[in-house]
Structure 1
Amino acid sequence: MQTLLQALSLFLIGAGVFFFAVGTLGLIRLPDLFSRLHALTKADNLGLGLVIAGLLPWVADPWTALKLVLIWVLVMVSGATGSHLIAKRALRGDGEDLLE
């Protein structure tokens, strides 16, 4: 049972790291600001969720697990809010330096 749990945890953390890498590649390779924002926020939120899911079986108590989930939720909210503000500023046209 321990080996299966370790394998599942390793798979989830590896998948999370893969999504982090794909999000970074999307940030570098995609042509415009909106595509970059979309790729980065989606991939990073999923990557962090998978990493936390891989860590959850190894936490000592439920409070630590709750803290990890709370960190993930706060990162999702702040990432979505930040991306929305950047996109809104770019659409208004007062962030010409953002489009390059």
Structure 2
Amino acid sequence: MAQNLSAFLMFLGALLMFIAALGVARMPDLFTRMHSSTKSATLGVGLIMLGAAFHFGEIGMTMRAVAIIVFLFLTAPVAAHMLGRAAYFAGVPLWEGTLSDALRGHYDRRTHRLISDEKIEDNLTEGEIG
């Protein structure tokens, strides 16, 4: 039973990793590539590690796998957010099919801080954001 569950989890994780690889290859811009790879790869590696924990069945291996899963689920979204934010500030172009840029006008270029909607009108009239 444990072998079947382990094989199923590892297969599902590998499938999600494959979907992440397809997303990286097929998506049109950096931001959509990062989205597809971060979501699918994080869950895929988590499932593979969970399958490894079931496969070996030792408490030491299970604890290591759980620690890796927790670490990955905590750090991967933060890292993707920081990379995406840096790319946005560096001026990496959005895909031409992007419907809206929700961040346009909301960041102060000098401090890289997010500005609320109430302050945008004041700052736009003063020429601080652009």
Give me the TM-score of the superposition, normalised by structure 1.
0.80
Q: In structure 2, which of residues 33, 37, 42 is the aligned counterpart of residue 40 of structure 1?
A: 37
1:44-99 CA-to-partner distances (Å, cap 9, x unmatched) read 1110111122112233532321111111222233322221111111222x254x87
Separation in 2, partners of 1:95, 1:65: 43
Matches within 5 A, 1:10-89: 10-89=7-86
Separation in 2, partners of 1:45, 1:36: 14
**Structure 1 gap segments, 5+ residues each:** none
Instruction: Kindly name which structure, 1 or 2, has the bigger radius of gyration based on alpha carbons.
Output: 2
Separation in 1, partners of 2:10, 2:67: 18
**Structure 2 gap segments, 5+ residues each:** 96-130
Separation in 2, partners of 1:61, 1:8: 15
More helix by share: 1
| Identical counterparts, % of pairs | 31
